[in-house]
Amino acid sequence: MADIEIPDPEELEELKGKKFTRGVALTTAIYAVMLAITSLGGNNAMKGMLLAQQQSSDQWAFYQSKVVREHLYKLQRLQLETNLLEKRKSMGTDLLRHYDETIRRLQEEENRYKTEKKAIEAEAKKQEAERDVNNRKDPYFDYAEVLLQIAIVLASISILSGSAQVFYLSVIAAGLGSLLSVNGFLLLIRIPFLH
């Protein structure tokens, strides 16, 4: 009959502790990767928001310059039309033709600026929409980062204390953080208190 060696309870406890520690350490590394991805998403959302705001502001400034030019041409045209009404009878044919041609060119320029500003307005609104999307994403990344950092701390505490309950709390925090991170990228649901 073969000898069966009964393991020492202290050795079993030590092996069990090492297995728990390795598992928590590996899980903590996964948390850290998720935190890095979340941080990148948050930084990109913030950069996108700031860039879109800047581009939108630039477009609105360009729009305003077109509006000013449009109104200048309109005022010049109206002034010439008023002058023409007052002095039409006393003008010669060449002067009348010159007035009519100048009024027509001013009207064309006014119309050109009116048309150009519509495209600029559309681009500005597009940039504002992009800014707003990134603005909605940002809080999800912020809260996800906090929860993932808390999960890493809880996992570290669970290694030091050997507490499985603390480890499970870290899993819950990491799970919630991961869900918020995914929602930050995809905006699948809107959580009202985060806005």
Region of 187 please: left (phi>0), alpha (psi -120 to 50) or beta.
left
Q: What is the pTM of this model?
A: 0.80
Region of 162 please: left (phi>0), alpha (psi -120 to 50) or beta.
left
Q: Write out pLDDT tens, residues 145-178.
A: 999 999 999 999 999 999 999 999 999 999 999 9
Q: Is the pLDDT of residue 2 over 70?
A: no
Q: Which whole number is the average pLDDT over 133-142?
A: 97
Paired tokens of 173: 């925090």
Contact 181, 142 (CB under 8 A): no
Paired tokens of 13: 């406890």
Contact 59, 124 (CB under 8 A): yes
pLDDT of the residue at 91? 87
Q: What is the 3-state secondary structure (H, E, C) of 85-103?
A: HHHHHHCCHHHHHHHHHHH
Q: Is the pLDDT of residue 3 over 90?
A: no
**Residue that wins the pLDDT comparison between 129 and 16:** 129
Q: Write out pLDDT tens, residues 17-63.
A: 689 999 999 999 999 999 999 999 999 999 999 999 999 999 999 99
**Residue that wins the pLDDT comparison between 50 and 15:** 50
**Residue that wins the pLDDT comparison between 83 and 16:** 83
Q: Is the pLDDT of residue 5 over 60?
A: no
Rg for the chain, CA atoms, rounded: 35
Q: Which CATH number, 1.10.3470, 1.10.287, 1.10.10, 1.10.1070, labels domain 13-189?
A: 1.10.287
pLDDT of the residue at 4? 54
Paired tokens of 28: 């903590």
pLDDT of the residue at 88? 87
pLDDT of the residue at 1? 45
